[in-house]
Amino acid sequence: MTDHSSYRLLLLFLLLSPCLLMAQVKGVGNVTNVNINGQQVDITTDNAHALVTVYNANVVRVRIDKQALAPDFSYAVIAQPQTTKANITQDASSISISTDSLKVQISKTPFAVTFYTKDGEVISQDEAGLTTSWVNESVTTYKKMQDGERFIGLGEKTGPLDRKGNGYTNWNTDAFGYSTGQDPIYSTIPFYIGIHHNISYGIFLDNTYQTDFNFGASNNRFSSFGARGGEMNYYLIYHKYVADIITAYTALTGRMKMPPLWSLGYQQNRYSYYPETEVFRIAQTLREKKIPADGITLDIHYMDHYKVFTWDQNRFPNPKAMTDKLKDMGFKLTVIVDPGVKIEKGYGVYERGLANDIFAKYPDGTNYSGEVWPGWCHFPDFTNPKARAWWGTEMKKYGDDGISGIWNDMNEIATWGQKIPDNVLFNYDGRMASHLQTHNVYAMQMARASFEGAQKAFNKRPFVLTRAGYAGFQRYSAIWTGDNRAEDSHMLAGVRLLNSLGVSGVAFTGMDIGGFTGNPTPSLFARWMQIGAFNPYFRNHTAVNTKSAEPWTFGEEVLEISRNYVSLRYKLLPYLYSSFYEATQSGLPLMRTLAIDYTFDKNVYDGQFDTQYLFGSAFLVAPFEGDAKFGKVYFPKGKWYDLYSGEVQNGGEQRIIQLSQRKLPVYVKQSSIIPMQSLVQSTSQKPDDILTVHIYQGDVNNSFVYYEDDGESYNYENGAFYKRAIVYDAAHKTITFGKVDGSFASKFNNIKLVMHGFANTSVKINGKQANLNDDFSVLLSPLSKFDPQGSENATEGEKVKSIIVKNDSGQITLAY
């Protein structure tokens, strides 16, 4: 070949290269056909099919695929589109959709979507020139990054509160001893909230393949979200407030049911407590040391050679007698379950699994085998309804044995080697799918099987815990953040993880208090126990081959600190239980990043303050390292009371405070309403009959929905609950206890009001004037019959009781 010929070939290659490269990336292309049908727009483009659906006035769904869209199916979304007033029109260049809350414009050349407020401000828009495209089977939507845009959420993700500048992958991973910046870890929640220009919106990408999110990582042009297979399928949620976005997201994906009351108490665990004499020693010591507690958890050593649904008969010869004795002591037992079923002839669980044909399979029909704790195992296909029912049947033994909680572990799926073949097939509720599509949803369906099975086997509300999950798992299970480390940085990273899970629709969350791997210092353990008292799920847990990490193992001072904060939590149970009720109704979490209530305050995203959070609506918690001597706290707008001294701090300020190992910095928001009870040693012990309601003076109105039920059954679903609103009107200085809703009789016969910051003033309590210069009594009938209009007339045969409402000094001491 001559040099001249070589030159011509090189020139031809250079000219064709852009076309060859473009062939590797296939965009949606131009719109070629539009069919408007009610609240839906069916769109055909050069390279794809799209369906845009108005789900309700605030939620719009976008589906795009290279071929015809498959029949709709989701493990996450349980809501159906609502009949909504939607005006949909088109012209030569675009399609316009308008609801009472937002507008959508879809350009036709090329297909691109922009969401606007009703006032025409951009909420979210496709990045021009990129929009949505495929690289092989991976599909990605690119959004223009708005000036100053922030991103929060994505569930169990390490890193800062504001995820701007970072990228994340969702692929459920057994991440033993993970670093504070490691990604991915255990669970997948492909939902985030974007924040810019006083606008907030949510994006939920409902796709169970590996998904990837980029919030300006390695680029300064776009944010993006995409999946390694399947269709582009996302929901845009627009509301003015972040709290309303969380409520809308959980309306789509579901909310938790009321948990059993005992599960809100302190849980003692380690890997592992055995034999049963050790379990009783731990239980007895908790009682002797006056550390309130409700639960003990057994890790894998309770099983016969790690085989699920078995007991080691030498270590635990009579499980039912053990759980009965523990219940007499006020303890419920939770046991771990792993998905792997040991391949062993004669092992009943394995034999019944084979007979029912419920295991995941290779394409040739043979059962997939992987190695884990028991040895070589098969794995139930929890995406198969038949397998979920089988699992529930196997759980009957645990119900017969008196078990109260089920802890789902190793369900990412974890196997030795951490590489389940891509071609393992799953039923996917009759749709058949490979491991690539099933991996991220497997744990959620295991939690579902455990929840549904335990409901029948236990005949009471079960407590279900999972290590991994997918969006919507909050319907079935609580979650903890896996195998963390006994390090200060991990303690604070855990706070961010729980806050991120909360903003992502998961209210019942916790972490291993004290750290799972390694040995905490006494100061770290004390601080972690304090923070744990302000976590939704409060479990102490440490690994095998570590030092014992029960509160009494760190010396008398740490024991006293731990006892004080666990005791405070138990006195707060009426507040906690009512806050969980709120989560079942609105999806709002107990642990609330400050970004929920103070979304556009730049200080809450500052790395100095992004671990601060609200616990429920009242408490501001400021975590710090165990041995820190000083710390800086940011107080958002408003007025804040020091929990311990009653000192008032104005909002909008930063303050350096002196830290003490004995006290976790906690503050109370102005106008807060906090119901508390007398100290008990477990939830099986009845408190005294006075509900103490703390009310903090403030300049803003507030209300609190107080809630009770029996704490263990589902009778509340049929009206057997006790609910009433407590309302504080700041301008008129009135406190009103609303009418009781529900048929359940409260455990408290009396109310005691404790007023903070009301000195030298007067208030009206259900219409009765009270001068707070002195102690005073307000005559009220029992709480269950209290007339919201202030009438003192008791029903026939009812004894009228008096309640002392005191103008106290604002002191709350932790010396219980």
* Residue 151 domain-assigned (yes or no): yes
Helix (H) or strand (E) holding 223: strand 222-227
Report how far residue 581's alpha carbon sits from residue 705's, in angstroms, rounded to the nearest whole number. 9
* Residue 573 domain-assigned (yes or no): no
Q: Extract the tokens encoding 337.
A: 């379950």
Is residue 110 reached through a cis peptide bond, with omega within 30 degrees of 0 on the bond before it?
Answer: yes
3-state SS class at 571:
helix
Report how far residue 741's alpha carbon sits from residue 716's, in angstroms, rounded to the nearest whole number. 12
Helix (H) or strand (E) holding 447: helix 435-458
pLDDT of residue 789: 34
Report how far residue 18's alpha carbon sits from residue 568's, in angstroms, rounded to the nearest whole number. 67
Catalytic residue selected from 276, 483, 550, 597? 483
CA 396 to chain centre: 28
Is 683's pLDDT higher than 50?
yes
Percent of the chain with pLDDT over 70: 92
CB atoms within 10 A of CB 244: 18
Q: What is the pLDDT of residues 330-374, one digit of tens each?
A: 999 999 999 999 999 999 999 999 999 999 999 999 999 999 999
Is residue 504 reached through a cis peptide bond, with omega within 30 degrees of 0 on the bond before it?
Answer: no
Q: What sign does the CA torsion over 360, 362, 367, 369 have?
A: negative
What is the average per-residue pLDDT within 180-198? 98
SS (H, E, C) 193-260: EEEECCEEEEEEECCCCCEEEECCCCCCCEEEEEECCCCEEEEEEEECCHHHHHHHHHHHHCCCCCCC
Q: Rounded to two decimals, what is the model's pTM?
A: 0.93
pLDDT of residue 770: 73
pLDDT of residue 749: 87
* Residue 280 domain-assigned (yes or no): no
Report how far residue 269's alpha carbon sits from residue 541's, in angstroms, rounded to the nearest whole number. 5
pLDDT of residue 21: 52
Q: What is the pLDDT of residues 696-712, one digit of tens each?
A: 999 999 999 999 999 99
Is 802's pLDDT higher than 60?
no
Is 814's pLDDT higher than 50?
no
pLDDT bin (cut points 50, 70, 90) of residue 762 is confident
pLDDT of residue 54: 98
Report how far residue 448's alpha carbon sits from residue 455's, in angstroms, rounded to the nearest whole number. 11
pLDDT bin (cut points 50, 70, 90) of residue 758 is confident
In Å, the largest CA–CA distance within the chain is: 114
Q: Specify the DSSP class assigned to residue 795.
A: P
Kindly list the strands in the beta sheet with 639-642, ordered across the sheet, starting from the edge strand earlier in the chain: 591-593, 613-615, 619-621, 666-669, 639-642, 648-650
Report how far residue 3's alpha carbon sits from residue 13's, in angstroms, rounded to the nearest whole number. 15
Q: What is the pLDDT of residues 266-307, one digit of tens each?
A: 999 999 999 999 999 999 999 999 999 999 999 999 999 999
Percent of the chain with pLDDT over 90: 88
Q: What is the pLDDT of residues 141-173, one digit of tens each?
A: 999 999 999 999 999 999 999 999 999 999 999
Q: Beta strand 801-807 with 776-780: parallel, antiparallel or unpaired?
A: antiparallel
Q: Extract the tokens encoding 12.
A: 């031809």
Domain with residue 206: its CATH number is 2.60.40.1760
Is 792's pLDDT higher than 80?
no
Q: What is the pLDDT of residues 567-609, one digit of tens each?
A: 999 999 999 999 999 999 999 999 999 999 999 999 999 999 9
Q: What is the pLDDT of residues 231-241, one digit of tens each?
A: 999 999 999 99
CA gyration radius for the chain?
28
* Residue 503 domain-assigned (yes or no): no
Contact between 611 and 775 (Cβ < 8 Å): no
Contact between 130 and 142 (Cβ < 8 Å): yes
Helix (H) or strand (E) holding 763: strand 762-765
Report how far residue 182's alpha carbon sits from residue 481's, in angstroms, rounded to the nearest whole number. 13
Contact between 423 and 363 (Cβ < 8 Å): yes
Contact between 252 and 204 (Cβ < 8 Å): yes
Is 680's pLDDT higher than 80?
yes
pLDDT of residue 4: 62
Report how far residue 484's alpha carbon sits from residue 246's, in angstroms, rounded to the nearest whole number. 27
Report how far residue 40's alpha carbon sits from residue 416's, in angstroms, rounded to the nearest whole number. 47
Residue located via tokens 């800086």? 632
Query: Residue 198: which of 163, 239, 244 has the closest Cα?
Result: 239
Q: Beta strand 734-737 with 776-780: parallel, antiparallel or unpaired?
A: unpaired
Q: What is the pLDDT of residues 471-507, one digit of tens each?
A: 999 999 999 999 999 999 999 999 999 999 999 999 9
pLDDT of residue 438: 98
Contact between 594 and 572 (Cβ < 8 Å): no
Query: Residue 240: which of 613, 638, 599, 702 has the closest Cα?
Result: 599
CA 160 to chain centre: 17
CB atoms within 10 A of CB 229: 17
* CB proximity list for 364: less than 8 A, separation 6 or greater: none
Domain with residue 733: its CATH number is 2.60.40.1180
Angle made by CA atoms 655, 659, 663, in degrees to the nearest 5: 115
Catalytic residue selected from 412, 487, 582, 710? 412
Distances (CA, A) of 678 to 174, 535, 668: 41, 20, 20
Is 777's pLDDT higher than 70?
no
pLDDT of residue 767: 80
Report how far residue 563's alpha carbon sits from residue 192's, in angstroms, rounded to the nearest whole number. 38
Segments forming the whole domain that contains residue 202: 23-253
Contact between 145 and 222 (Cβ < 8 Å): yes
Judge whether 642 counts as a catalytic residue: no
Query: How many structural domains is the chain composed of?
Result: 2
Domain boundary among the residues 253, 268, 298 is at 253
Q: Beta strand 405-408 with 332-337: parallel, antiparallel or unpaired?
A: parallel
Domain boundary among the residues 234, 253, 272 is at 253
Helix (H) or strand (E) holding 65: strand 59-65
CB atoms within 10 A of CB 706: 25
Q: Locate all alpha helices (DSSP H) within 196-310, ordered by sequence.
A: 242-253, 276-288
pLDDT bin (cut points 50, 70, 90) of residue 754 is confident
* Residue 735 domain-assigned (yes or no): yes
Contact between 590 and 579 (Cβ < 8 Å): yes
pLDDT of residue 3: 57
CB atoms within 10 A of CB 93: 10
Q: What is the DSSP string of 679-740?
A: --SSTTSPP-SEEEEEEE--SS-EEEEEEE--SSSSGGGGT--EEEEEEEETTTTEEEE---
Judge whether 409 counts as a catalytic residue: yes
Q: Specify the DSSP class assigned to residue 393.
A: H
Is 130's pLDDT higher than 70?
yes
Catalytic residue selected from 149, 244, 299, 409? 409
What is the average per-residue pLDDT within 80-103? 97
Report how far residue 557's alpha carbon sits from residue 555's, in angstroms, rounded to the nearest whole number. 6
Domain boundary among the residues 201, 222, 253 is at 253
| Start-to-end C-alpha separation, the chain | 94
3-state SS class at 322:
helix
* Residue 682 domain-assigned (yes or no): yes
Q: Extract the tokens encoding 48.
A: 């794809």
* Residue 732 domain-assigned (yes or no): yes
Q: Locate all alpha helices (DSSP H) within 208-330, ordered by sequence.
A: 242-253, 276-288, 319-328
* Residue 347 domain-assigned (yes or no): no
Q: Beta strand 167-170 with 199-205: parallel, antiparallel or unpaired?
A: unpaired
Q: What is the pLDDT of residues 618-636, one digit of tens each?
A: 999 999 999 999 999 999 9
Q: Extract the tokens encoding 26.
A: 């296939």
- Across the chain, mean pLDDT equals 92
pLDDT of residue 142: 98
Count the alpha carbons within 13 Å of 285 in the hemisphere toward its beta carbon.
Answer: 13
Is 457's pLDDT higher than 80?
yes
Q: What is the pLDDT of residues 537-562, one digit of tens each?
A: 999 999 999 999 999 999 999 999 99
Between the CA atoms of 726, 730, 731 and 733, what dihedral angle is there, to the nearest 10 degrees? 70
Identify the burial level of 96 via C-beta atoms within 10 angstroms of its C-beta, where 0-12 means exposed, 13-18 middle and 19 or more buried. Answer: middle
For helices 556-571 and 522-532, give the axis angle rounded to 10 degrees: 0
